[in-house]
Chains A and B, each alone.
Chain A
Amino acid sequence: MTAQQIIFMIVAAYTIGSGLMVVTTRNLVHAALWLVSTLFGVAVAYALLNANFIAVVQVVVYIGAIAILFIFAVMLTRKDMRDSGPQMNKNWWAGALVAVLVFAGLAFLLSGWSGFRNIAAELPAEFDAIGLLGEALTSPEAFVLPFEVASVLLLAALVGAVYVAFNPRSDKK
């Protein structure tokens, strides 16, 4: 095993362990904090894949914005900080069975694919992933239209979120 493989194993075990805690912890605030831990593990996986910009965006957008939004939502929707009653529904064993079957099916499908054991090629000398990504996102020959559509979608979603969560009683004081 090379050093990179050992690092990958540690990161993967850490991330999957945190992910298991996200779906099994009773306390929702703890679940949101375990989600932060999982997202950090995924960011390290991006860094191992030489996707530096994606790793930074993962930390800034996912951990800085989305996970904090989750923590706010948990705090806004609970009367007290403790949860009572079961956190999983009665059919949790069926859910676990479906999850295991999906994993087994994915593993079976992927292991039959010819490129499954590919090894990554060395990066070209002076490879500039961020420059290439910026050009791809702004060049009309590449992905400028999907990128703009994504930003319009985000704007529409945020306006819709403000409208849905707006409390009509708050201005009738």
Chain B
Amino acid sequence: MVPLSWYLMFAAALFSIGLFGVLTRRNAIAILLGVELMLNAVNINLVAFWRYSDVMAMAGQVFAVIVFAVAAAEVSVGLALVISVYRRRNTVVADELDMLKW
């Protein structure tokens, strides 16, 4: 069997890669791609903790399902904002979006 530590290290690596993408990418859509990687890493942790503790308690899987719903909500609102900003400012580069009101 695979020890729990392997899954936790795998998820930590995926989380750090997503964090790198969020911190360094200039394109707003690429930043959201990094957020997706981080959410997936969290979900791997949740499911791994479910499997490696009491499998009859479904809290880990239920939490993973709710994270799916929240991720879908986050992506739909985020991409709608990006498209709206692109329509007004004609750019999706995060550095150039530096005005509070247009």
Q: Is the CB of B61 within 8 A of A53?
A: yes
Q: Is the CB of A23 within 8 A of B34?
A: yes
Question: Chain A: which residue is nearest B75 at the CB level?
Answer: A66
Q: Give bound CA distance, A131 to B36, whole Å.
A: 28
Count CB-based A-B contacts (< 8 Å).
250
Main secondary structure of the interface of B (DSSP, over half): helix
Q: Given A69-B76, A96-B24, A154-B72, do A20 and B17 touch, yes or no (CB 8 Å)?
A: yes
- Report if A117 contacts B (CB, 8 A): yes
- Report if B97 contacts A (CB, 8 A): no
Q: Chain B contacts of A150 at CB under 8 A?
A: 65-66, 69-70
Q: Give bound CA distance, A92 to B34, whole Å.
A: 14
Contact residues of A between 1 and 47, Cβ < 8 Å to B? 2, 4-5, 8, 12, 15-16, 19-20, 22-23, 28, 31-32, 35, 38-39, 42, 45-46
Question: Chain B: which residue is nearest A55 at the CB level?
Answer: B47
Q: Chain A contacts of B65 at CB under 8 A?
A: 54, 57, 133, 137, 147, 150
Q: Is the CB of B37 within 8 A of A19?
A: yes
Distance in Å from the Cβ of A129 to the closest Cβ of chain B?
7
Question: Chain B: which residue is nearest A127 at the CB level?
Answer: B55
Q: Is the CB of B68 within 8 A of A16?
A: no
Q: Is the CB of B2 within 8 A of A48?
A: yes
Q: Is the CB of B10 within 8 A of A12?
A: yes
Q: Chain B contacts of A146 at CB under 8 A?
A: 62, 66
Q: Chain A contacts of B9 at CB under 8 A?
A: 107, 110
